Amino acid sequence: MVDVVATLRSARVVPVIRHDDPGVALEACELLAAGGIEALEITTTVPDAAGIIADFRSRFPSICVGAGTVLTTEQVEQVISAGAEFVVSPCWSDEVARALLDARVPYLPGAMTPGEVLHHASSGATLVKVFPAEAAGGPSYLKALKTVFPDVALMPTGGVTPANAKSYLDAGALCVGMGGNLLPATALEVGNTTVAVEQINSALTAVFSQDTKN
């Protein structure tokens, strides 16, 4: 089994794929793979998310693929069968947590308050997703959380951009979840792959050109 914490620490940025057209979502995944990403999250709000996870994993086995917006045991069963290597929820779900602990699949539930962070970390979460990160207070809020929870791995998501990603990482984030900036929906919807690639590469360059990873 993949060491998800180590993998996400190395990845630094986890693209969050969310779109109502599965073709657009899959193409975004393919372009991100070509761009060199190490991990990504495909949300269950994408039609046939499990099918996309299975397809992508079969063709890009070196990339760590997780499932997002998982809220029911039925969804857990679907994404695990498809090969999801970690599961993300916007908040804690007892039924999802039980199913994932039984299956020994890493759970990354969302939290906003210190109490939620403590609950999730104490209840078996592999990593806690701070969501919505920017609305909660941004990098300074994440830094405050890390002050009192130095041993809890945190992944801020929601409002993370190429311009502020490094601030989150410097504040103590294990990695960051990033959505719209890494899914150039408008370009992909009209079939403009060239522009989509440029937008993805520009976003990744903006993050990693500031990166201090050794």
Tell me the mean pLDDT in the region 57-65: 98
Instruction: Quickly count: other Cβ atoms within 10 Å of residue 138's Cβ.
Output: 17
pLDDT over 50 at 214, yes or no: no
Q: Which residues are catalytic?
A: 41, 129
pLDDT over 80 at 72, yes or no: yes
- Taking the C-alpha atoms of residue 179 and residue 185, their distance in angstroms, rounded to an integer, is 10
Tell me the mean pLDDT in the region 37-54: 98
How far is C-alpha 210 from the chain's CA centre?
Answer: 20
pLDDT (0 to 100) of residue 151: 97
The full set of domains in the chain, from first to last, is 4-109+160-205 (3.20.20.70)
DSSP 47: T
pLDDT (0 to 100) of residue 213: 46
What are 114-136's pLDDT values in tens digits?
Answer: 999 999 999 999 999 999 999 99
Identify the residue whose tokens are 């063709």: 59
Q: What percent of the chain has pLDDT over 70?
A: 98
pLDDT (0 to 100) of residue 195: 95
Contact 107, 101 (CB under 8 A): yes
